[in-house]
Amino acid sequence: MTPPKTVCVAGASGLVGSHIIQAALGRGYRVHGTLRDSTAADKVPYLAGLDGAADGLALFDAEMARERSFDAAVDGADGVFIASLIPTYFGPDGKPAKDMDDEQGYRDIIMPTVNGCLNIMGSAARHGIRTVVICSSTSSTNPLPAVAVKNEVEHWSDEDQQCRAKKYTSAAKTVMEKAAMAFAKDNGIRLSILLPTGLYGPVILPEQMTTNPHVWLRRLINGEKGLHDQIPNNSSSMIHLHDLAELFLAAYENPAAAGRYFGVYDSWHWQDLYGELHKILPDMVMPAPLTEPPVAATGFDFTRRDSLGVAIRDIPTLLRETIDWIKTDPFG
């Protein structure tokens, strides 16, 4: 009998990383998961409680700012998932990214993400690993001028323009992706990059309930004001976390998969989203209505995403499943 393959998931306690672990264990993989503290009492019990974790999950201390920190975790792995590049909105001194100049924005926001990613990829390359999958963001796919329908191959954000707009957090993803692609090319690594945005569905760790969208959905369920005072005239892209994890594994398992893939189901205008939410929660506090014609929702070409062969829940389904799950008060 062929022994199960081992994969390394950098960022085991994160929203995306924990779901990749859950999905990989469900398929019989052995998983090496990394955390800053592999004994953290507020994280480890929830990861250890996943189906298959008793025999299939090993946790390692690793810090992406330290070179070679991931060497032990990637040792013996067949592939690496990098889900530890969490958006950073403040510098070490607490200064908001939007208030920085370019020098500080690059030093405190952009380069920690870039160097952290390359440190992990460096560990993978030193251990002969030739398959890496990275979690990035659709924020790297917003060209100027905007296009009606964007794709992952042709359309990139301009990192210089992002910096001029003080969007250093978004620029970090753009710069990181380009650096990772160059490293992969130089080191013979098959690299896939998943580009998600709004993440819905059940979460694994209690701390994940304190971020959007779960925090404002819970407020709506409790009869409180949600995210907006007035319906904004823009759109939101989203995907169910279980489906996103399946996309990650599909990109890893398909030897022909490489490059960027949208990790969203679709984008809806907020007016339509609130209309759907009102069907699910008829007594919810609605924001003030839109007072101008709605702009078109973000358009995507999903040809590459669909080539991975993953069935993805539609928006009404993922909203209802998320709300129904929150109503169960899963963490007590």
Confidence check: pLDDT of 332 > 90: no
List the alpha helices (DSSP H) in 155-258.
159-164, 168-186, 214-221, 241-253
* pTM of the full structure: 0.97
pLDDT interval class at 28 (50, 70, 90): very high
pLDDT interval class at 1 (50, 70, 90): low
Cα 268 to chain centroid distance, Å, stands at: 19
Mean pLDDT of 63-80: 96
| The architecture CATH gives domain 200-237+267-327 | Alpha-Beta Complex (3.90)
The pair phi, psi for residue 148, each rounded to 5°, is -70, -35
| Active-site position among 43, 150, 167, 173 | 173
What local confidence, expressed as pLDDT, does residue 2 receive? 64
What local confidence, expressed as pLDDT, does residue 3 receive? 67
Confidence check: pLDDT of 85 > 70: yes
Q: Tell me the C-alpha distance between 262 and 60, whole Å.
A: 29
What does the angle CA 264 – CA 156 – CA 130 come to, to the nearest 5 degrees?
75
Mean pLDDT of 227-252: 97
Asked if 173 is an active-site residue, the reply is yes
- Output the average pLDDT for the chain: 96
CB-CB contact of 241 with 203 (8 Å): yes
What does the angle CA 144 – CA 147 – CA 153 come to, to the nearest 5 degrees?
85
Q: Domain locations in the chain? A: 200-237+267-327
The pair phi, psi for residue 62, each rounded to 5°, is -160, 145
Q: Is the dihedral of CA 275, 137, 127, 70 positive or negative?
A: negative
Return the beta strands (E) in the chain as ranges: 6-10, 30-35, 57-61, 79-82, 131-135, 190-196, 198-200, 235-240, 259-263, 266-269
Cα 62 to chain centroid distance, Å, stands at: 19
Tokens 């929702």, located at residue:
297
The per-residue pLDDT for range 177-199, each reduced to its tens digit, is: 999 999 999 999 999 999 999 99
Mean pLDDT of 124-131: 98
Higher local confidence (pLDDT), 238 or 67: 238
Mean pLDDT of 127-136: 98
Q: Tell me the C-alpha distance between 24 and 177, whole Å.
A: 24
Mean pLDDT of 246-270: 98
For the beta sheet containing 131-135, the strands, ordered from the edge strand earlier in sequence to the opposite edge, are: 57-61, 30-35, 6-10, 79-82, 131-135, 190-196, 259-263
Q: Tell me the C-alpha distance between 240 and 229, whole Å.
A: 25
Closest by Cα among 166, 70, 167 to 115: 70
